[in-house]
């Protein structure tokens, strides 16, 4: 069978690692040649459609669909990114953009209206007095009602120091108010939280691998060390990936120099090793992972596990171990094409097996099925089911499992109470918290100096918790289970629900770290991790 592509000569500017739907690998110019026959066939088909079709041809949609169809024949992670998707990716991994510093959301029942979800502490909107729940009506005299999210984002963003006149409707006020906001630099941080869980345990939540990730993690660990940290939890749950070089550099913070972090295997093979070594080499370390930890997160987790450096706790990771090269097209959109696979230091493929040509829906459904099976088994049972061909050994002789994703050393399958999981899945907690915060945003914001003060002293009043139970039990009731039964089930999980509610309120009123500090007190994965410091400490010696 003829080969229609010669191997490209790549001018590589930066390597990235895609996570889920996010891009990972950016490249410069491509120098490959396409044989005349297939290219002529594509040109001929398009020309026939364009010249002969009875109606006007929607050229943009036809071309976009054609690109997507070609990529579907490859693998689940070779994708097409629209112009707006590329803009969002650049913002997320550039570590910042110019804007007003809010997150907004659509209101239930009025989807044409967006409202402030949270306000960045210290950002332009906080300085201007915006609060959660403020409905966004007009920007510089132009209506925001009915606009898609992408257009609202483009309207609110703009050059730093430029001015924006925003009209909002505040909860409980009869008339709209107008505020003037001076746009500024809005950071997109990789480290979402860094604090001491107790007198000696540091906690660092890492949500992406962007250009500043290693510096952020190093600074966080250094700061916590001065506060007395003697051991650390690195939380990679929900982290979908980012830059490959940052994954290698993060691993370098904890491993001696010369250790393999990951191998990239394609038409050529490249091994990435640590170079510097660091003062955190002897720091006892536990890494938290789950089914949304992907790509760069799996590289770090796999390196820590395979090099016997850290104990992994949580759930099997996503299994995203394909390397994409990304090329921007002439209109600002882009395609990502798989060029290699990632292997952990012991030789395990990170990528979960897939059937070539299967739809994304089929691919993700099989992943969900696998995660469901994991939740119903203990680690010992999973190990007994794995064939010898998928068992690998670390330098210390520990058995680690291949076959896709990274299976943690300590498997935590029951991460939420049964009733709590139902309430979360149906969105009832978010809806109740949204209404609660909107109605009390002024009081909540002015009643506490900052997020730390809120964490230290805020408690949900008994009448408010009862209102929450009334709301959720009423909405959950059906012919099989009464509201009274649901209320009783929820009340059995009161401590977990209370931590979750206070955390969600803190996240809207203050910041994500405040939210995590409140909820982590009842986080079952973190609770389990804290029981395993003897094993993690032994690995650090």
Domains and CATH numbers, the chain: 1-76+189-331+339-415 (3.90.226.10), 96-187 (2.30.42.10), 418-522 (no CATH)
pLDDT of residue 34: 56
- Phi and psi, residue 198, nearest 5°: -145, -165
25, pLDDT greater than 50: no
pLDDT score of 23: 32
Per annotation, catalytic residue among 259, 320, 511, 523:
320
Contact between residue 98 and residue 185 where contact means Cβ atoms under 8 Å apart: yes
Tell me the C-alpha distance between 124 and 103, whole Å.
Answer: 13
Q: How confident is the model at residue 94 (pLDDT cuts 50, 70, 90)?
A: low
- Between 46 and 496, residue with greater pLDDT: 496
**Could you read off the pLDDT of 333-354 as tens digits, one per residue?**
899 898 999 999 999 999 998 8
Contact 243, 24 (CB under 8 A): yes
Q: Cα separation of 356 and 338, whole Å?
A: 13
Question: Which of residues 68 and 15 earns the better pLDDT score?
Answer: 68
CA distance 215 to 252: 12
Ordered alpha helix ranges (H), 187-259: 213-226, 244-254
Instruction: Locate the DSSP E strands across 73-141.
Output: 79-81, 96-99, 102-107, 110-119, 135-139
Q: What does the alpha-carbon distance between residue 30 and residue 225 come to, in Å, rounded to a whole number? A: 46
Spatial CB neighbours of 486, under 8 Å, sequence gap ≥ 6: 419, 472, 473, 476, 477
Whether the CB-CB separation of 57 and 358 falls below 8 Å is answered with no
Mean model confidence pLDDT for the chain: 88
Read off the pLDDT of residues 500-515 as tens digits, 9 standing for 90 and up.
Answer: 999 999 999 999 999 9
Of 2, 40, 71, the closest CA to residue 327 belongs to 71
How far apart are alpha carbons 456 and 506 in whole angstroms? 11
Residues 325, 25 contacting (CB under 8 angstroms): yes
Confidence of residue 11 (pLDDT cuts 50, 70, 90): very low
Confidence class for position 10, pLDDT limits 50, 70, 90:
very low
- CA 81 to chain CA centroid, nearest Å: 18
Model confidence pLDDT, tens digit, residues 154-165: 999 999 999 999
11 in helix, strand or coil? coil
Of 164, 75, 129, the closest CA to residue 353 belongs to 75
In terms of Cβ atoms closer than 10 Å to its own Cβ (0-12, 13-18, 19+), residue 386 is: middle
Helices marked H in 447-511 — which ranges?
451-457, 462-476, 483-492, 494-509
Residue linked to tokens 């950002």: 123
Q: Please spell the DSSP secondary structure of 258-320, one letter per residue.
A: T-EEEEEEESSEEEEE--S--TTTTS-EEEEE-TT--THHHHHHHHHHHTT-SEEEES-----
- Given 78, 295, 297, 473, the catalytic residue: 295
Tell me the mean pLDDT in the region 352-373: 78
pLDDT in tens, 409-436: 999 988 899 999 999 999 999 999 999 9
Distance of alpha carbon 341 from alpha carbon 352, whole angstroms: 11
Strand ranges in 351-494 using DSSP code E only, listed in sequence order: 391-393, 399-401, 410-411
Give residue 35's pLDDT band: very low, low, confident or very high (50, 70, 90). low
**Can 36 be counted among the known catalytic residues?**
no
Confidence check: pLDDT of 7 > 50: no
Tokens of 393: 């050994």
| 320 classed as catalytic | yes
Please report the pLDDT score of residue 481 as a whole number. Answer: 96
Can you tell me the mean pLDDT for 364-377? Answer: 75
| 3 state DSSP class of 157 | coil
Q: Give the chain's radius of gyration (CA, Å).
A: 25
User: Which of 306, 374, 498, 523 is flagged as catalytic?
Assistant: 306
Q: Are residues 179 and 128 in contact, defined by beta-carbon separation less than 8 angstroms?
A: yes
- Better-scored residue on pLDDT, 39 or 126: 126
> Above 60 in pLDDT, residue 496?
yes
For 111-128, how does the pLDDT look when each residue is reduced to its tens digit (9 = 90+)? 889 999 999 988 999 999
CA 412 to chain centre: 20
Q: Judge whether 473 counts as a catalytic residue.
A: no
Query: What is the model's pLDDT at position 107?
Result: 81
Q: Is a pLDDT exceeding 70 seen at residue 16?
A: no
What integer pLDDT is reported at residue 365 of this predicted model?
80
d(CA 416, CA 409): 20
Cβ within 8 Å of residue 365, ≥6 positions away? none
Which of 390, 286, 290 lies closest to 348, judged by CA? 390
In order of 88, 216, 321, 360, 434, the CA distances from 247 in angstroms are 21, 13, 13, 26, 36
Buried b / exposed e across 186-203, counting CB within 10 Å, b at 16+?
bebbbbbbbbebeeebbb
Q: Which helix (H) or strand (E) element contains residue 224?
A: helix 213-226
pLDDT average, residue stretch 67-78: 84
| Alpha carbons within 13 A on the beta-carbon side of 1 | 2
3-state secondary structure of 505: helix
What percent of the chain has a predicted confidence (pLDDT) above 90? 67
H/E stretch holding 66: helix 59-72
How far is the C-alpha of 233 from the C-alpha of 285, rounded, in Å?
6
């Amino acid at each position: 069978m003829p080969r229609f592509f010669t191997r490209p000569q790549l001018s590589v500017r930066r390597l990235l690692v895609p996570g889920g739907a996010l891009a990972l690998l950016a490249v410069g110019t491509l120098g490959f040649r396409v044989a005349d026959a297939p290219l002529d066939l594509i040109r001929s088909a398009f020309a026939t459609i364009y010249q002969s079709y009875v109606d006007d041809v929607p050229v943009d949609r036809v071309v976009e669909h054609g690109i997507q169809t070609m990529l579907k024949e490859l693998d689940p992670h070779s994708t097409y990114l629209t112009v707006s998707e590329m803009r969002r990716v650049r913002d997320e991994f550039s570590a910042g953009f110019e804007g007003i510093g809010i997150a907004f959301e659509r209101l239930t029942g009025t989807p044409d209206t967006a409202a402030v979800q949270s306000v960045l502490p210290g950002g332009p909107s906080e300085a201007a007095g915006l609060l959660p729940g403020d409905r966004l009506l007009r920007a510089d005299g132009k209506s925001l009602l009915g606009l898609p999210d992408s257009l609202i984002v483009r309207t609110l963003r703009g050059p730093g120091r430029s001015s924006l006149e925003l009209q909002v409707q505040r909860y409980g006020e009869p008339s709209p108010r107008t505020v003037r906001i001076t746009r500024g630099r809005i950071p997109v941080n990789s480290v979402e939280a860094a604090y001491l869980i107790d007198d000696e345990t540091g906690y660092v939540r890492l949500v992406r691998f962007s250009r500043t990730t290693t510096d952020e993690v190093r600074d966080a660990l250094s700061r916590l060390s001065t506060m007395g940290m003697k051991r650390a939890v690195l939380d990679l749950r929900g982290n979908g990936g980012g830059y490959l070089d940052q994954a290698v550099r993060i691993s370098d913070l904890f491993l001696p120099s010369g250790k393999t972090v990951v191998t990239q295997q394609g038409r050529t093979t490249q091994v990435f090793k640590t170079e510097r070594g660091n003062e955190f080499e002897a720091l006892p370390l536990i890494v938290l992972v789950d089914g949304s930890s992907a790509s760069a997160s799996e590289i770090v987790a796999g390196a820590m596990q395979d090099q016997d450096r850290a104990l992994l706790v949580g759930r099997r990771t996503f299994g995203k171990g394909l390397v994409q090269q990304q090329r921007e097209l002439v209109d600002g959109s882009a395609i990502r094409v798989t060029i290699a696979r990632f292997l952990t230091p012991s030789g395990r493929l990170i990528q979960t097996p897939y059937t070539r040509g299967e739809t994304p829906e089929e691919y993700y459904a099989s992943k969900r099925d696998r995660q469901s099976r994991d939740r119903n088994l203990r680690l010992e049972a999973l190990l007994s089911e794995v064939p010898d061909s998928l068992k690998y050994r670390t330098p210390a002789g520990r058995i680690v499992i291949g076959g896709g994703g990274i299976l943690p050393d300590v498997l935590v399958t029951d991460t939420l109470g049964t009733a709590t999981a139902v309430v979360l899945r149906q969105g009832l907690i978010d809806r109740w918290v949204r209404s609660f915060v909107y109605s009390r945003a002024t009081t909540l914001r002015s009643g506490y100096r900052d997020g730390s003060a809120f964490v230290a002293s805020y408690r949900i009043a008994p009448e408010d918790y009862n209102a929450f139970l009334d709301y959720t039990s009423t909405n959950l009731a059906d012919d099989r289970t009464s509201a009274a039964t649901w209320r009783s089930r929820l009340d059995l999980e009161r401590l977990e629900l209370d931590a979750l509610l206070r955390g969600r309120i803190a996240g809207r009123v203050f910041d994500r770290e405040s939210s995590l500090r409140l909820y982590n007190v009842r986080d079952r994965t973190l609770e389990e991790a804290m029981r395993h410091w003897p094993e993690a400490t032994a690995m650090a010696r």
